[in-house]
Amino acid sequence: MIASFPPVSPPPPKDRLRVLVIDDSASQRQLLIALLSRMGLEVETAPNAAHALHMCMSDHEDPIGMILSDWQMPGMDGPDFCRAFRQLARDDYAYVILMTSETDRAKKAQGLEAGADDFVTRPLDLAELRARINTGRRILDMQEALQHRNHEVHSTLTELRAMQDAMDADLAEARKLQRAFIPPRSRSFAGSDLSLRLMTSGQIGGDLVGYFQISPTRIGLYSIDVSGHGVASALLTGRLSSLFSWRSRRANIAFRSNQRDVYRPDQVMARLNDLMLSDMDTDIYFTAVLAYVDTYDGEVLFCQAGHPHPLVRRVDGTVERLGDGGPPVGMLPDVQFECRTVRLNPGDALLTYSDGLTECADTWGDMLEEEGLMALLARCPDDPEEAVDAIEEALRDHSGIADFEDDISMLFFRYDNREPVRRGMAAV
């Protein structure tokens, strides 16, 4: 729902310029009334500066646009009037011309500093007076046009602000829905534990991590990074989360039609690649790691599709880099995806992550890089939840900012077969 803002009216057009003549001489006032009326101006008069100020303070309905003031007047003179007038709180600008017989440039400079815009020499010359007034009218016309342009800009900004507020509200709801795509962030499987973490750089993101149960002894782990940012990436992330459903085998693309057996990880990537290129008319692609972990013997069968290399931390603290890279999903037809196998020993940990971790830069622009992440992994706690907390804290310390420039996701799995179960593997 778009928020409503009260309408703002543009400044009304001025059909006739209202001019105020200030002069202590009644005859001069009458002369100026005659001259200015012939020029199509609406003329008001004041016998002194104090009376003129009072008129200017009460002209809100039809503001005075130009003032012709005598320089020499009893009490408050022309420059004093200019200073007092410029201090009034007014929405419109009034053009002030001082009528003077002064020829001294220093005196005229004082008048300009006091707030005058122009001068006309006395005794008045009709041609000069007309030229000075026309100059003022051009400036006032430009000021009126500028006011209308400002009103148009203000109205446009008001509409954009309302649209942005509505978009922010929608994105906040979309973020809640996107979080609902992800399974619970901590889980135990037959004695092994995992924890996942998702940190979006905006309100919605293009990263996805999760898991699903294959059999009593096997689980699927996935880490996905959709190209780009924003709504389009988030929509594809939502589609992929349904394809890797942790609630429904029927909806999960990894399962065969019997809903018991699974395709190999490389076959799943090939199926997704065909789906992206045949059914989705988009230039967006994604990288991924899909791994099947046997919690009975620690065997991990995985496919790396353009995603950062998975890392294994052995129980002795050494860190190994897995995989050969592979092509992204949805970029090219008929590409070949490959599977690799690694075995985890009790106490070993597997980390999959998006490139937001390794490309996290400090205030100097230096990225963490894979070597930095491997160093973090080597010294992080054994407990998966504490491990992802430690890595996130280290990333924030490295970046030195509250928000990351890219989405960051990670999945930390620690293998332990201290609770062996009878094997019941699904065929692949």
pLDDT single digits (tens) 142-163: 888 888 888 888 888 888 888 8
Residue 85 one-letter amino acid: F
Q: What is the mean pLDDT of residues 211-228?
A: 93
Q: Does residue 99 contact residue 70 with C-beta atoms inside 8 Å?
A: yes
Q: Is the pTM of this model over 0.75?
A: no
C-alpha dihedral sign at 208, 211, 212, 215: positive
Q: What is the mean pLDDT of residues 273-291?
A: 89
Dist CA 369 CA 355 (whole Å): 9
What is the structure's pLDDT at 204? 64
Dist CA 342 CA 202 (whole Å): 35
pLDDT band at 427 (very low <50, low <70, confident <90, very high): very low
Domains (range + CATH), the chain: 18-150 (3.40.50.2300), 182-414 (3.60.40.10)
| Tokens, residue 170 | 């929608």
Closest residue by Cα to residue 20 from 92, 94, 124 = 94
Choice between 92 and 180, residue whose per-residue pLDDT is larger: 92
The backbone torsions φ and ψ at residue 420, rounded to the nearest 5 degrees and listed phi first, read: -65, 145
Any idea which residue has 């309905």 for tokens?
61
What is the structure's pLDDT at 96? 94
CB within 8 Å of 110: residues ≥ 6 apart? 79
- Answer whether the bond into residue 10 is a cis peptide, omega within 30°: no
Any idea which residue has 């963490």 for tokens?
368
What is the structure's pLDDT at 425? 39
What is the structure's pLDDT at 192? 94
Give the neighbor-by-neighbor strand order of the sheet with 66-70. Answer: 42-46, 18-22, 66-70, 95-100, 118-121
Q: What is the mean pLDDT of residues 46-71?
A: 88
User: How do residues 162-175 score in pLDDT, each as one tens digit?
Assistant: 887 777 676 666 66
Query: What proportion of the chain, given as a percentage, has pLDDT over 70?
Result: 89
**Is the pLDDT assigned to residue 4 strictly greater than 80?**
no
Mean model confidence pLDDT for the chain: 86
What is the structure's pLDDT at 317? 93
Q: What are all long-range contacts of 313-319, with beta carbons under 8 Å and residues at least 24 apart?
A: 313/348, 313/349, 313/351, 313/377, 313/378, 314/345, 314/347, 314/348, 315/345, 315/346, 315/347, 315/348, 317/378, 317/379, 318/378, 319/374, 319/377, 319/378
Closest residue by Cα to residue 154 from 349, 5, 37, 50 = 5
Choice between 169 and 28, residue whose per-residue pLDDT is larger: 28
Q: How many CB atoms lie within 10 A of CB 293?
A: 25
Strands 319-321, 311-313: pairing kind: antiparallel
What is the structure's pLDDT at 178? 61
What is the structure's pLDDT at 419? 52
Dist CA 187 CA 280 (whole Å): 33
Q: How many CB atoms lie within 10 A of CB 424?
A: 11
Dist CA 50 CA 66 (whole Å): 17
Q: How many CB atoms lie within 10 A of CB 237?
A: 24
Q: Does residue 19 contact residue 44 with C-beta atoms inside 8 Å?
A: yes
**Is the pLDDT assigned to residue 424 strictly greater than 90?**
no
pLDDT band at 200 (very low <50, low <70, confident <90, very high): confident
Q: What is the mean pLDDT of residues 308-329?
A: 95
Residue 413 one-letter amino acid: F
**Is the pLDDT assigned to residue 8 strictly greater than 60?**
no
